[in-house]
Chain A
């Protein structure tokens, strides 16, 4: 099976507004696909439809050869779709370790049955993202960058086969961005397929095998990094917006 994810004709309307219109995209197994586009382009909405947070109004979604359309989010998590949220959704009153343990306890294939093993798995993921010393803290006591790291660790603890990353680098400084880029590469080397949404161009260029661009809810181009970033339509989408 070449493609881990095949979305075809996905459309999402919010009342009058068409947030995503007729978008088709494939993600190959083991690749990192970059998803870029100006704010409000529909990137988060697209990811929401992939992991089941939102249901599309039209279109189909095939994950590892089976249609997952209509499956609730938790079932898609069991199939191996993990994600992070741009607007993070930690469990504020739980410790950092327990936050990640939930991913290990309930993630892919329904997760670990034993709390001890789940904690071990969670601890590894937290150490991996650099939160090894914060495991006993409450999640709501973490600062901004650490919250982003926790969001990533929670998704990793699910042992996903497909990882959807929604702006995990927003608000990080240069050094931190470098670290996350290296982390994401290592995750891919474990054989996990990844979709990254990012505004940090450096991250997109150094990570992505391919890039696709959303603008006003529609896919405008798809291709290698170099091609896409030179495409006049992409330049216009970005510069046209920036000049305003």
Chain B
């Protein structure tokens, strides 16, 4: 049975290794991840400002890719509406801080509420559409939202809003890190919970899932709201950090495309794939921009095309299945996908 390549993945082996060895590996992996997070948290005190800036950007993108992973990777619904949640999160913070002089965290809550509520309503309306129809419908909505916000006085119209300046890169960095970790832990939970298995069943065969007792509408809407929650919070941090937002900038469909590319490149439906995807692609883009300026986006495009051809199921799948004869994996991919 052939399915849209993007959402394909191998689930974790059902058992893991049984017994003490499995537990030991798991403990080791957990320790390694905890150390990695600790090292990341310490980065602002060791690295320079350029690195911290880059870190903020990567961590926000990782959160976005992870948010998209929940609805696109796990549930199998390729959302183009996530940039709307991002924009709502950004405007939540901006409106609260600029128009009402409320503290940042209240703005975050406002943005979160707007994003999640909007996802709930949108989800009920459009999550009954499948595949391309869903994609196109959410895309249309993203464009409509830009137009609406451009005409809202409270949102500063199409001029946008200027937020109060906070010169604390460390704070933004740690916030972005915390959010990315939270998003990843949520996805980790999805990968091994009843709820997450329900989402995967929906992705793999929605009608089959319903017949076996999965309340598909409810599961999809909750997944969409969860996806929106992380996306909106990332938008809120972004707005305060960048200090100036306008509708075209934060309701940007290109950002949605980026989320998808990073999640798919890393491995949709995996736990760490989207984070790794965000890191590698951001680093690649950064290096290319420094070296090639003009032709950077061309080369970036080539990198992505090559990646999709040789590893259509993402890095997470590559790492798990490459085996000893490395090149074989790539050739097989090209063959099975008839590229």
- Give residues in A with beta carbon < 8 Å to B: 51-53, 72-74, 77-78, 82-83, 85, 89-95, 97-98, 101-103, 105-108, 110-111, 113, 115, 118-119, 135-136, 138, 140, 154, 158
Contact A91-B207, Cβ < 8 Å, known A98-B14, A111-B213: no
* Structural contact, B1 and A102, CB atoms closer than 8 A: no
- Give residues in B with beta carbon < 8 Å to A: 1, 3, 8-11, 13-15, 192-194, 197-198, 200-201, 204-205, 207-216
Among residues of A, the one whose C-beta sits closest to the C-beta of B217 is A72
* Structural contact, B213 and A89, CB atoms closer than 8 A: no
* Structural contact, A94 and B212, CB atoms closer than 8 A: no
13 new A-B contacts, CB < 8 A, other than A72-B210, A74-B213, are A73-B210, A74-B215, A77-B211, A85-B211, A91-B204, A92-B204, A93-B8, A95-B11, A101-B197, A102-B201, A105-B194, A110-B213, A136-B14
Q: How far is the CB of A112 from chain B (nearest CB, A)?
A: 8
* Structural contact, A83 and B208, CB atoms closer than 8 A: no
Q: How far is the CB of A125 from chain B (nearest CB, A)?
A: 12
B211: which of A83, A101, A140 is its contact (CB, 8 Å)? Answer: A83
* Structural contact, A105 and B3, CB atoms closer than 8 A: no
Give the A-B pair count, Cβ closer than 8 A. 99
A106 and B11 CA atoms in complex are apart in Å by: 19
A138 and B9 CA atoms in complex are apart in Å by: 11
* Structural contact, B210 and A74, CB atoms closer than 8 A: yes
* Structural contact, B211 and A93, CB atoms closer than 8 A: no
* Structural contact, A107 and B213, CB atoms closer than 8 A: yes
- From A72, A106, A119, name the one whose CB has the most chain B CB atoms within 10 angstroms: A106
* Structural contact, A90 and B197, CB atoms closer than 8 A: no
B9: which of A83, A93, A98, A140 is its contact (CB, 8 Å)? Answer: A93
* Structural contact, B197 and A105, CB atoms closer than 8 A: yes
A83 and B8 CA atoms in complex are apart in Å by: 26
* Structural contact, B211 and A53, CB atoms closer than 8 A: yes
A-B contact pairs, 30 of them (CB 8 A): A73-B210, A74-B214, A74-B216, A78-B213, A89-B211, A90-B204, A90-B208, A91-B209, A92-B3, A92-B205, A93-B10, A93-B11, A93-B200, A93-B204, A94-B11, A95-B13, A95-B14, A97-B14, A98-B197, A98-B200, A101-B197, A102-B198, A103-B213, A105-B194, A106-B201, A106-B212, A107-B213, A115-B194, A115-B197, A119-B14
